[in-house]
Amino acid sequence: MNPTLSRRSIPALPHVAGVIAAALVLAAPLARADEENSGVGTPSPDGLQRAPEPRGRKESGLIPGVLVGPRLSVAVPTPTFGVEVKVLRYFGASFDYGFFPKLTISGVDVSYSMWNVAARVYPFGDVFFVGAVYGHYGVEATATVAQGTGSVRASSEFLGPQIGARWIQPSGFFFGIDVAWAFPLGYRSEASLDPTGTTTSVKETADRYLRNGIPLVGLVSVGWMF
């Protein structure tokens, strides 16, 4: 792994997450106002114009008061797939799993896996939500050189805050965005040394950044609720 590349790219991720979070906070009230004010007025029998009705959105599915369905997210650090639930407009939950089996960086093979569960509250009963995530991630890196092979493993449970937005259409199709910061709980790492010291460098880089937590950013989430 190229230490210079890691130092330049990884510190930028919290700033990206911060920008997305700020955008959500600013955009959510506008989205809510748009939903409340959209619609076309219809004349009443006495000729007076009625107030516009709110745009429709699905709030109940196969189970009264409950919406549930699959979701796919283009996310950082890895795409995820899972299930999302919304209950009585104001509460929600989800489960996500993501992984990439093998990625080669500067001659080092890296694999990553992660799962998390989230609990959410929709304070306005519509688009914007706040919540918390809990889960686990694991990273494994293997370096193979002429003199031998070494590996690095790092993993941790995590817990952190989350904010986001979900736009649910009358059909049940939904899309959204979310951002969270995963604070590590019990971070641990180990390395089997290779003669060139590559795995030692990888472990030091992983420890430097993963001990501070990782961003979980759902850039685009799409799914269908029933």
150-188 pLDDT per residue, tens: 889 999 999 999 999 999 999 999 999 999 999 999 999
For the chain, percent of residues with pLDDT exceeding 90: 56
Predicted local confidence at residue 53, as pLDDT: 38
25-80 pLDDT per residue, tens: 444 444 444 444 444 444 445 555 544 434 567 888 999 999 999 999 999 999 99
Mean pLDDT of 105-114: 87
Structure-model confidence comparison of residues 185 and 7, the more confident one? 185
Predicted local confidence at residue 46, as pLDDT: 52
Q: Give dist(CA 89, CA 95) in Å, integer.
A: 18
Structure-model confidence comparison of residues 199 and 45, the more confident one? 199
Cross-strand partners of 155: 138, 188
Predicted local confidence at residue 55, as pLDDT: 55
Cis peptide leading into 29, omega within 30 of 0?
Answer: no
Mean pLDDT of 195-208: 84
SS3 for 176-187 is EEEEEEEEEEEE
What's the burial of 113, exposed, middle or buried (CB within 10 Å: 0-12/13-18/19+)? middle
Q: Give dist(CA 23, CA 3) in Å, integer.
A: 31
* Average pLDDT over the chain, rounded to an integer: 80
- Is residue 92 pLDDT above 50, yes or no? yes
Mean pLDDT of 191-215: 86
Predicted local confidence at residue 105, as pLDDT: 79
Write down the pTM of the prediction. Answer: 0.72
Nearest CA among 23, 54, 56 for reference residue 168: 56
Predicted local confidence at residue 1, as pLDDT: 41
**Three-state DSSP class for residue 172:** coil
> Class assignment of domain 3-34+56-224?
mainly beta
Residue extents of the structural domains in the chain: 3-34+56-224
